[in-house]
Structure 1
Amino acid sequence: MSMRVATFGQTSTVLQNAMKTQARLAEKQIQESTGLISTDYGGLGSSAGAVASLEVSAARTEASISTAEQALSRIEMIYDALGSMSDLMTDLRAQLSAASVNTDDTLQATAEAMLEELTSLLNTQYEGRYLFAGGETETKPVDLSGLTTTGLTTEDTNYYQGDDYVQSVRLSSDRSLDYGITADNTAFETAIRTLSYLASATDLTSEDLAAASELLVDAQDQILALQSVAGIKASTLETYISDQEDYLATVTDLATTLASVDIAVVAVEAANYKTQLEASYSALGTMTSLSVLDYLR
């Protein structure tokens, strides 16, 4: 290589500037490919704290939405089960209206079948959880194996295997929504007592049929009330989820805005840095080719 004459300082300066330009170009190329100011918080400067806070808020909101959606699915299952129970009451009331004291066998068979169906509905499971068991979600809440009904007026919840815990969902640090219904609720106890009596009693009188009909009306009214409340709570959760999704979208957009670059602007900047870098390399090439003879000519 030819001997450099008085170019060392200039060469060093140009080389340093070229290295800085190359670093800026690399940064712009990464920004252009990712669309982000930086791939880590350190490169976000004064926006780092705000972006981190927004991302934490977004994560919490996503978790809250997931929890609410899970509770909503359970409420919808409860709502449907209650609707089926009400239909049972309607069917049996119709048969009672048409029954007479001479149709005991047919009525007993019907009541027994409906009692089994009611038990099945109260033992409804969703995602491995019994919905009407309170906190004992792994235990069937209704077991009629030991139930003996000798009259229409004596309440008996010994069939219930759950506890008195009411399921709820926490929506925020200071807000929760109760939605659980236990199988020992008066509505269900009345229905079970009436069906059990009709399924096992003999020599039913007209007074028995009238009393059973009244109890079924009472049970159905209470079941419909429970269903109405479940519907209101489902609507409350749907509104909450919608509001949270709107908030999540806003927070996510804001975080993205703070962390993102304008691709068009970055592309222009990258092109400028590339041009500067090429000029620097050209200048370096010229400087490193100079020799003493170039200055003596």
Structure 2
Amino acid sequence: MSRVSTTGNYQSALLNLMSAQAQQNEAQTRLSTQKIATDMKGFGRGAESLTALKAAQNRVQGFIDTGTAVADRLESQDLALNQVGDGVTGARSAIGSALATENINTLMLELQGQFQSIQNGLNAQHQGNYLFAGSDSTKAPVTVSTMAELKAAPSIASTFTNDDLPQTSRLGEQTTVRTGYLADDLGTTIFQIFKDIQAYNDDPATGPLTGKPTDAQKTFLTAQLNRLDTASTATIEVISRNGALAKQVESTNASHEAQVAQLGDMVNTKTEADMAKAVTDIQLAQLAVQASAQVISQLKDTSLLNYLR
């Protein structure tokens, strides 16, 4: 025979009330957060797969962040490379016009301006770092700023300070590409042309390049046109390669963004609460709380002593 006591009844009713309140709070949390739980413990057996999904989502988002930074850098590189290309084209145009008019009075001045434009392009910066300096992007890769300094340098190589480590970027799990260029790769041939022109101008036997050009000067300058054409073609190829790489980064980022969205949908499927069920659970919990509270209220006026009398 089971014993019935006032204390036992109180304890049972109180436990029912506490359980109903806990269920009400849990349903209210689901309704307010729209999530099944607020920590991994609340997802039970699904916590492991949810953790894996979140890790994959964060990893892909990291690739997107890298891709965005690379895209910005490539855009800056495009501007710098075009500045170098414009300088080469400008130098060719200056020589061509001088030969056409048979007046080379201002040729060296114009070439100096184009050389400085090329030098500025090779020393271009992105977010405070030199684009074409290699791994040590804190140091300007080109050390000369005038054609006179270029001619005075012991060699073309001595005018560049960049190392041999171009920028590389990991765009995906299996995708690591070279996204940077080196100043000496871009400028050695171009600088040699300008150095030769300056040396020719400074040589008393051949220069200076002023007034009406001699036949020998015409021959020399015509040869420089051909060299500048070759340098211009090489620069255009680098510009095109940089543009193609920008398209690749854009496409890769779009793919990663779609992957992040897909992973997000999978995470939401596992974490989002059923709002209709949460509302129903709240209503049921409220009824349970009210019922438990009513039982406790009735027990206050009930004692077994009344029946023993």
Give the TM-score taking structure 2 as reference length: 0.86
Q: What does residue 21 of structure 1 align with? A: 20
Q: What does residue 37 of structure 2 align with? A: 38
| Matching residue's letter, 1:133 | A
Q: What does residue 135 of structure 2 align with? A: 135
- Cα–Cα, structure 1 residues 226 and 149, in superposed 2: closer, same or farther, change >3 Å? farther
Q: Kindly, what percent of the aligned residue pairs are identical?
A: 26
- Cα–Cα, structure 1 residues 12 and 212, in superposed 2: closer, same or farther, change >3 Å? same
* Secondary structure of the corresponding residue to residue 165 of structure 2: coil
Q: What does residue 124 of structure 2 align with? A: 124
- Cα–Cα, structure 1 residues 6 and 161, in superposed 2: closer, same or farther, change >3 Å? closer
Whole-angstrom CA distance in 2 between matches of 1:84 and 1:148: 22
Whole-angstrom CA distance in 2 between matches of 1:211 and 1:6: 115
Q: What does residue 262 of structure 2 align with? A: 250
| Matching residue's letter, 1:290 | T
| Matching residue's letter, 2:140 | K
Whole-angstrom CA distance in 1 between matches of 2:305 and 2:81: 102
Whole-angstrom CA distance in 2 between matches of 1:16 and 1:84: 79
Whole-angstrom CA distance in 2 between matches of 1:92 and 1:171: 38
Asked if 1:269 is matched to 2:281, the reply is yes
Give the TM-score taking structure 1 as reference length: 0.89
Q: What does residue 230 of structure 1 align with? A: 242
Is the deviation greater in 206-215 or in 62-71?
A: 62-71
- Cα–Cα, structure 1 residues 140 and 293, in superposed 2: closer, same or farther, change >3 Å? closer
Output one character per residue of 1:109-157: Cα deviation in whole Å (capped at 9) or x when no partner.
000111111101100011121111112211111112652279xxxx833
Whole-angstrom CA distance in 1 between matches of 2:32 and 2:177: 45
Give the number of aligned pairs: 289
Whole-angstrom CA distance in 2 between matches of 1:292 and 1:214: 116
Q: 8 Å contact 2:87–2:115 — kept in the other structure?
A: no
* Secondary structure of the corresponding residue to residue 104 of structure 1: coil
* Secondary structure of the corresponding residue to residue 183 of structure 2: coil
Q: What does residue 61 of structure 1 align with? A: 60
Q: CA deviation at 1:103?
A: 3.0
Stretches of structure 2 lacking an aligned partner (at least 5 in a row): 202-206, 210-216
Asked if 1:290 is matched to 2:289, the reply is no
* Secondary structure of the corresponding residue to residue 14 of structure 1: helix
Whole-angstrom CA distance in 2 between matches of 1:137 and 1:131: 7
- Cα–Cα, structure 1 residues 23 and 56, in superposed 2: closer, same or farther, change >3 Å? same
| Matching residue's letter, 2:137 | T
* Secondary structure of the corresponding residue to residue 176 of structure 2: strand
Stretches of structure 1 lacking an aligned partner (at least 5 in a row): none
Is the deviation greater in 82-91 or in 156-165?
A: 82-91
Q: What does residue 106 of structure 1 align with? A: 106
- Cα–Cα, structure 1 residues 99 and 270, in superposed 2: closer, same or farther, change >3 Å? same
Whole-angstrom CA distance in 2 between matches of 1:117 and 1:47: 61
CA RMSD of aligned residues (A): 2.4
Q: 8 Å contact 1:149–1:193 — kept in the other structure?
A: no
Is the deviation greater in 173-182 or in 219-228?
A: 173-182
Whole-angstrom CA distance in 1 between matches of 2:157 and 2:82: 22
Is the deviation greater in 81-90 or in 115-124?
A: 81-90
Whole-angstrom CA distance in 1 between matches of 2:129 and 2:303: 87
Q: 8 Å contact 2:90–2:114 — kept in the other structure?
A: no
* Secondary structure of the corresponding residue to residue 140 of structure 1: coil
Whole-angstrom CA distance in 1 between matches of 2:228 and 2:164: 24
Whole-angstrom CA distance in 2 between matches of 1:50 and 1:161: 51
Q: 8 Å contact 2:21–2:289 — kept in the other structure?
A: yes
Whole-angstrom CA distance in 1 between matches of 2:36 and 2:270: 9
